[in-house]
Amino acid sequence: MDSADNLLHRLKELNEIGIALSQQHDINSLLETILVAAKRITNADAGTLYLHEPEQRVLRFEIMRTDSLRIAMGGTSGVPINLPPIRLYDEAGNPNHNNVASHSSLSGEAINIPDAYTAQGFDFSGTKKFDGMTGYRSQSFLTVPMRDHDDQVIGVLQLINAQDRQSGAIVPFSGDDQQLLESLASQAAIALTNRRLIWQLEELFESLIQLINTAIDDKSPYTGGHCARVPVLTMMIAEAVNRTNSGPLKDFAMTNKDRYELKIAGLLHDCGKITTPVHVVDKSTKLHTLFDRIHLIDTRFEVLKRDAEIAMLRALSCSPLPQTPPSLPLSGEEVSFPPDKGKLRGGGVRGVEETAIRAEYEARIRQLDDDRGFLHHCNIGGEAMSDEAQQRVRQIAAYQWRDADGKTGNFLSDDEVGNLSIYAGTLTAAEREIINHHIVVTIKMLESLPWPRHLRNVAEYAGGHHERMDGKGYPRGLTREQMSVQARVMGIADIFEALTAKDRPYKAGKTLTESLTILGKLKLGGHIDPDLFDVFIREKVYLDYARQFLAPEQIDEVDLSRIPGVNLEP
């Protein structure tokens, strides 16, 4: 080809390189593409790409390639570059113009040197040392700064030993080489800057998400841990499904963009909890509001015990009792020590009557202590409160006591009875509604954001983790067919994390066997996706998660034959 055709071919190649740069998303791959492209259009044997570090005022070696010596360092090679960075200024703050790369960075000029061994004004001692060690002959150099849209130098491209395309001999870099490399450096700087800006925006975006989760964490450290663990487990399950090559989910596949979208959804899946009152989120006992009201009930028991003691002492001294006695027997009927019962001339009572009075008093104290312990147990909350226990709470509530104002009333208020009679957990129906409302707020918040195309499904993924496969979930009552695989994945992750979490204020973390048993029952009950449950079990995702987040005592030996709903066939 003549020079015109050759130049036209190289310009076309430069244009193709520009397109390739715009399509490259990974920074390491982008930098490598830049250097390889620079070598190709100039037919250089070697090259180095430096990045400018403004705070350290150095040029850092990023990518190094020397074809004839088969050297490939940095970038995607996996081989680190252990060379010290090039200082742009000395200890006194004077600019370093002795080095070709640092001079190009400081001056913003391209430098074209036909032969380093005869060049004046630059220190090539390091280059000559390298040549002496390797037998290489560094000859022609072309060094070009990379400028961003603000005309700031962000890096330097340095090529070594241009080769004649016909003979392969080492020749100086031509003027056309320099113009093409300057053009490529400009395109590369823009591509690199854009990629850095996108990366910084993504980092800022994720930091804002973490800021929201930190705010939730500040309100409730229990919810904060949940917000951190659910995204991890979600991605574990999704990757397990992605690996599946048989069965109903064999066609599910994720790109890196899909993974990022699901990761963001996982991080934001409970963002609506930022509006949930902390006393509801952290309700560790049934009577807990701003404090645990069981202590108020303890005080009332002490009042009943005091009144019982006063009644006993009055009976023993034959003093008349008030019309309404200070305490009642445990059956709810009034106790009465008749003033004339067992009375002696000296104003005392017979020994046998005194024994009976003291025995009745002691029985009452034992019953009160037993009732107090019972209410403490009820206050903790559990998974199933019996009808008998709820009836006993109502019986205790009917006891009468006299408050500080002298008013007599029921021992427990209606609100206290309602809370202490909660069938499972520590939340009343009204409080459960408050908790459940967080997902409505989450969806509202996420749907209000102007998501870019690659994140358009975040609201759907995050908003579906409380739905059920049978349509009985909330807030929208979606069925399995109306939900994406990702939303169904997040549903399992949310439940399993909650079952195994060891930092909840109202329960201890369950073992693997306990958690998988419950999860299996949920599969059979139409709550969670059966195919995802099978992958979760078959791929032992539960065990990978356990090793990372569960306490050793929670990781028991799981007998899968005893777990409901297990199907190990793909």
pLDDT tens readout for residues 228-268:
899 999 999 999 999 999 889 999 999 999 999 999 999 99
R_g over Cα of the chain = 39
**Per-10-residue mean pLDDT, the chain, length 570:** 62 65 69 85 94 93 94 90 93 94 95 95 93 95 91 93 94 92 83 82 90 79 76 97 93 94 94 82 78 89 91 78 43 45 48 88 94 91 85 94 87 91 84 85 93 94 94 94 96 94 74 96 96 96 96 94 86
What is the structure's pLDDT at 150? 84
> Residue 189 corresponds to which tokens in the numbers above?
């700087």
pLDDT of residue 333: 42
Q: Which residue has the tokens 């925006």?
A: 201
Q: Quote the Cα angle for 180-186-191, to 5°.
A: 125
CA distances to 3, 76, 89, 98 from 94, in Å: 43, 35, 5, 11
Torsional class of 94: left (φ above 0), alpha (ψ -120 to 50), beta (otherwise):
beta
Which pLDDT score is estimated for 327?
A: 44
Q: How far is the C-alpha of 35 from the C-alpha of 68, rounded, in Å?
A: 16
DSSP 198-238: HHHHHHHHHHHHHHHHHHHHHH-HHHHHHHHHHHHHHHHHH
pLDDT digits (tens, 9 = 90+) for 16-32: 666 666 666 677 777 88
> What gap in Å lies between CA 72 and CA 413, rounded to an integer?
78
Q: Given this model, what pLDDT does residue 384 score?
A: 82
Domains of the chain: 3-198 (3.30.450.40), 220-282+429-562 (1.10.3210.10), 294-420 (no CATH)
Question: DSSP characters for 52-84?
Answer: EETTTTEEEEEEEEETTTTEEEEGGG-----SP
pLDDT of res. 449: 92
Query: What is the sign, positive or negative, of the torsion defined by CA atoms of 273, 277, 280, 283?
Result: positive
Q: How high is the pLDDT of residue 486?
A: 97
Alpha-carbon dihedral sign for residues 365, 370, 375, 379? positive
